[in-house]
Structure formats: structure tokens, C-alpha cells
Amino acid sequence: MKNSIEFRDDATIARIREEMDRFSWYHKIDLGSGLVTPGLALENVWDGIRKTRNHLDYKNKHVLDIASFDGMWAFEAERLDAGTVVATDSNFRAYHNFLFCRQVLNSAIIPYYNISPYELSERLLVHFEDIHEAEHPYHNLFQIVQHLGVLYHLRDPLWSLSQTRSVMRKDGHLLLETAVILDDEASYMVFNGVPPAPGRIYEDITTWWAPSLLCLKEMLHASLFEVDEQTITVVPQAENMGRVSLIARAIGPDELPPPYLEELNRTYRNPGLKTENLNR
């Protein structure tokens, strides 16, 4: 049984705790027996994601968790009864944490910790094609993709959104969470500055962009997603910025105005979309 916690005696619990305490943690992952990994105090952001996530049914779904880090959202997807869960990241330190939790939880999550959010369609081919002799070789495209806490870390956010859409089934769902400017009237992106400018987004060199809320919705549309307004959760962090969680449906190419689709199909100048996957 996946992600199940067997009976543990006191010696086993003490051994797990000792090993857990040797790592440093980003996530708070429930390992059972009263053990929770000592991650950061980000409950306000995480509760926003969970509120939005309540709109999704994970049962038997094929789920991808991008930039999984210690893996909290992937393990939670598994606990929500997802069918198969895949976790990607390009963070080797976090891989040790992830593997430790995977073993402790008897989890069946499939990790690929050498895949960046820019190259999902190419690097996950091995996953999609593992049943290549079947009638529908792309059956493995994802029904739910979790893109959480990573868009603002990416220099090229549209590339990542296009890649995300390219590994999803049509009518699948994207659960997205990121930093935004709290403006739903005008469409623009704020650049974090070099070095990061105080008062813009975060004073952190791994943060690049925060779109206004309207801009984020438009970027998603340009990447073949339709935002479900009912699912939006906003967590304010400063006067004009904060975090947003939302769910967007993966739309088909026929739902995008034809001139845009034509332009996106010119992947030699707009890289990112794997156009042959969009109708699957």
C-alpha cells in the first residue's frame, strides 16, 4: 500500500527522529508517529494552496509535482489518493530529504531530481513512453500538475508555463502558486532588479519576476490555460504584493484565437510548447 505508515516501536521512532534531525528542512512533512519534519513557518502560504486545492479531486489522477523540494506537496497528493505521483526538481540537496521521507512513508512517488521546469517534455519522455507498446503511448500525460512556489524563481516564466502545458492532458488541471503584484486592473510584470531592489518583490537573487494578477491570468491564457476564478486564493505579504494560488484548466488549441496558436507553433522562435501534445 502506498504512503502508509506501519506500526513502529519506540526504537524505530527514535531512529527516524535522529536521522530526520540530521537534515535541514524546507517543508513540514507528516511522517506519522508524531514526527513532522522541522520546516519553515510558511503556513499562511501553504494554507492558501490547500484552500485552492480543495477544488480538485485527486482520486486515481496522474499527478506531477514540479520543483518538489523536500516533497511535501507530492506526499500530500499521494495521501489524497492520486494514482501515480511524479516529483521533479533540480536540487540535489533536497533529493536526500525526499528519499528519506519516501522510505519512511513507504511512498511510491517516482522522483526525477535532475529535471528543470524548462525541459519537462523532453526529460520526461522516458516516463511517458514507458508503455510505448500500448495503443496510446502518451497515456501517461498528467491530469494534475502542481506548479507551486517556483514561477517567481524562473527567469523565463512563459517558457515554464508552456512546458507545463506540454506534459498535461487536455482538460487536466494546473494548481499554481506564486508571488504576484496585487493588481487585477493592469497587466505588467515587475522585475526584481540586479541586485534585487528593496521594496520590489523579495531581496533574494533567486527571485526574478512578479506579474500583476491580470498579467498572470493572461500569461496562463497564452500558454493554453483557462483560470477558474472561483479557485483563486490571495495571501497578502506587503502593501502591493503577495501570493496567489489558483487552478487553471488545460485548454485545447482550438480554444486559443488562431493567430496566437499560429505564432506559438513557430517553436523555432517561441520555444516551450510541444505542440503535438496539446490535443491528447
Ligand X SMILES: C[S@@+](CC[C@H](N)C(=O)[O-])C[C@H]1O[C@@H](n2cnc3c(N)ncnc32)[C@H](O)[C@@H]1O
Of 12, 60, 206, 265, the one binding ligand X by CB under 6 A: 206
Q: How far is the CB of 148 from ligand X (least distance, A)?
A: 3
Minimum CB distance to ligand X smaller for 31 or for 278: 31
Each residue 64-93 as x (binds ligand X by CB under 6 A) or -, in order, gives: ---x-x---x---------------xxx--
Q: How far apart are CA 203 and CA 236, in angstroms?
A: 17
Q: Which is nearer to ligand X, 26 or 170 (CB)?
A: 26
The angle formed by the CA atoms of residues 90, 164 and 277, to the nearest 5 degrees, is: 125
Q: What are phi and psi of 224, to 5 degrees?
A: 65, 50
- Closest among 136, 129, 6, 144 to 86, alpha carbons compared: 144
Contact 82, 57 (CB under 8 A): no
Under the binding rule (CB under 6 A), the answer on residue 148 touching ligand X is yes
Instruction: Single out the residue of 82, 154, 213, 247 in contact with ligand X (rule: CB under 6 A).
Output: 154
Region from 80-88, 129-137, 143-151, 238-246 binding ligand X, contact rule CB under 6 A: 143-151
Under the binding rule (CB under 6 A), the answer on residue 237 touching ligand X is: no
* Site track 98-127 with ligand X (rule: CB under 6 A), x = hit: ------------------xx----------
91 or 275: whose CB is closer to ligand X?
91
Interface with ligand X (CB under 6 A) = 67, 69, 73, 89-91, 94, 116-117, 148-150, 153-154, 206
